[in-house]
Structure 1
Amino acid sequence: MHKFIAIGDIHADWDTFWDALRAASCVDADGLPTAPVRLGRYQVVLIGDLVHPKSPQGYARLTGCDPFDMNDEDHRLIAAREQVRQLEKLQRYHEAAPHAVHVLLGNHDHAVLDPRFVLGTSGGLKHTEFDPERGGLMLPPHLHAWMSRFPRELRVGGLQFAHVSPLPGHLYYDDLFYSDRSAKTWFRETPEYVGMAGLVFGVYGHTRPGEGVLLHRTEDGQPSFAIIDALAEREYLELLYDAGAEHPLRGVSVVPF
């Protein structure tokens, strides 16, 4: 049996992210995995979207530039450099226990690796700090190589972790993905997708469900999936899963910290 600690979209809210890992007893004082993680007893899963704060206020907290202005070259470069610093810290953490720390590729991470798609906030802020053609900083080669290896999903028996949904089409961030509204709405409109995919349980992010982690249950009350883009609400998910058991999902908990 394994204990999974699943943390939703980080979006450069690094202080809150490291707080979550500390609350889960997954990181030590040196920023490295604790013994349960190194031994594989705890499996840490980051659901993707490491980069790009979600708002100007998030950029201001990250950079100390208040108000933050993406059109200001200094602000833009500080935003990139601060994210690089934290990505390097996470890379050290990940590479210290790659068998037990899993970082999935989110669409914002993909946009940094391939800046054809310029993403932004609902308020009109464009994430250009890693786009050299728009005055941003090129992602350092060692981070580019590391992030390029992120898987798009993690499966353990009937348990799936993915950034968006159980739909195969939502694993690839292309023109079709960005034109398909179901990437943001599937869990409310068609939650049966998880069962149709033959899954015991699914864990996804990408969309803030509101008021913390959304834990969906079937009509008979069984947990079916969770939407965990809830770092801002200071919540993460813990699961106990025994892949060899007849009923492998042994427990699901939303954990405030």
Structure 2
Amino acid sequence: MQKFIAIGDIHADWEGFWGALRAASCVDGEGLPTLPVRAGLYQVVLIGDLVHPKNLHEYARLTGLLDFDPRDPDHLFLAAREQVKHLERLKTYQEAAPHAVHIILGNHDDAVLNTSYVLGTTGGMVHVEFDPAHGGLHLPLHLSTWIQGFIREIRLAGVQFAHVSPMPAHTYYDDLFYADHSTKRWFRDSPEYVQMAGLTFGVYGHTQLEHGIYIHEDEEGRPDFAMIDALHSREYLELMLDADALNPVQSVRAVPF
């Protein structure tokens, strides 16, 4: 039996992220994995999108500025510097227990490596702090090399962790991905994708829901997937998994912190 602690899209909400790890007893006072994590009894899964605060308010909170201006190179420098500081801290944490701390590549993480895609919000804000062509900075080489090594999914005993959905096409962030509106709607329009993929349970992020973690149930009332982009609601997902059992998912719940 293993406990999986899955944390949704971070988007530079480092206060929320480290708070979730503390609440789950996964990080010690020095910022390193606790004994259950080092022993592999607890498995920590980050579902992707480490970078890029979600809105101007969050950029201002990250940088300490009253009004963040994404067109101001000085503001972009502060946004990049603060994210680099926490990415380095997370890298140290993950490398202390690589068998138990898993990071899935999100499309925002990929966009930092591939700056041909300028991501933004419906309000017109763009994420360019790591894009020199738009006044930002290059992500340091050691961090970009680390991110390049992020996995695209985890599958264990019929359980999948992925950034967007159970669809293989949604693990590669290209022109087709950004033109595909189903990336944000599949869980409501086509929840049967999980069963079609041969999965017992799936854990996904990418789409923030107003009321926090959403746990979907199949026609027989059994949980079959969770959408966990919910740091804004101060929630993470706890999943108890017995890989040798007929039904490997022993329990699943949203945990407030």
Counterpart of 2:220 in structure 1 is 220
Cα separation, 1, equivalents of 2:133 and 2:49:
22
Give the 3-state SS of the residue equivalent to 1:20 in structure 2. helix
Counterpart of 2:73 in structure 1 is 73
1:72 is displaced (CA, Å) by 1.1
Cα separation, 1, equivalents of 2:53 and 2:256:
21
Counterpart of 2:200 in structure 1 is 200
Cα separation, 1, equivalents of 2:179 and 2:2:
37
Compute the TM-score of the two structures, normalised by the length of structure 2.
0.99
Cα separation, 2, equivalents of 1:134 and 1:209:
30
1:6 is displaced (CA, Å) by 0.2
Cα separation, 2, equivalents of 1:180 and 1:157:
29
> What is the correspondence of 1:1-257 to structure 2 with a 5 Å cutoff?
1-257=1-257
- Residue 87 of structure 2 aligns with an amino acid whose one-letter code is L
Cα separation, 2, equivalents of 1:255 and 1:198:
27
Give the 3-state SS of the residue equivalent to 2:45 in structure 1. strand
Aligned-residue RMSD, C-alpha: 0.5
Give the 3-state SS of the residue equivalent to 1:85 in structure 2. helix
1:121 is displaced (CA, Å) by 1.4
Cα separation, 2, equivalents of 1:63 and 1:143:
20
The 8 Å contact of residues 72 and 135 in structure 2, kept in 1 or not, is answered as no
- Residue 205 of structure 2 aligns with an amino acid whose one-letter code is G
1:209 is displaced (CA, Å) by 2.1
* Percent identity of paired positions between Structure 1 and Structure 2: 65
Cα separation, 2, equivalents of 1:214 and 1:245:
25
Give the 3-state SS of the residue equivalent to 2:173 in structure 1. coil
Give the 3-state SS of the residue equivalent to 1:224 in structure 2. strand
1:74 is displaced (CA, Å) by 0.8
Give the 3-state SS of the residue equivalent to 1:25 in structure 2. coil
Give the 3-state SS of the residue equivalent to 2:185 in structure 1. helix
1:153 is displaced (CA, Å) by 0.4
**Structure 1 unaligned residues grouped into runs of 5+:** none
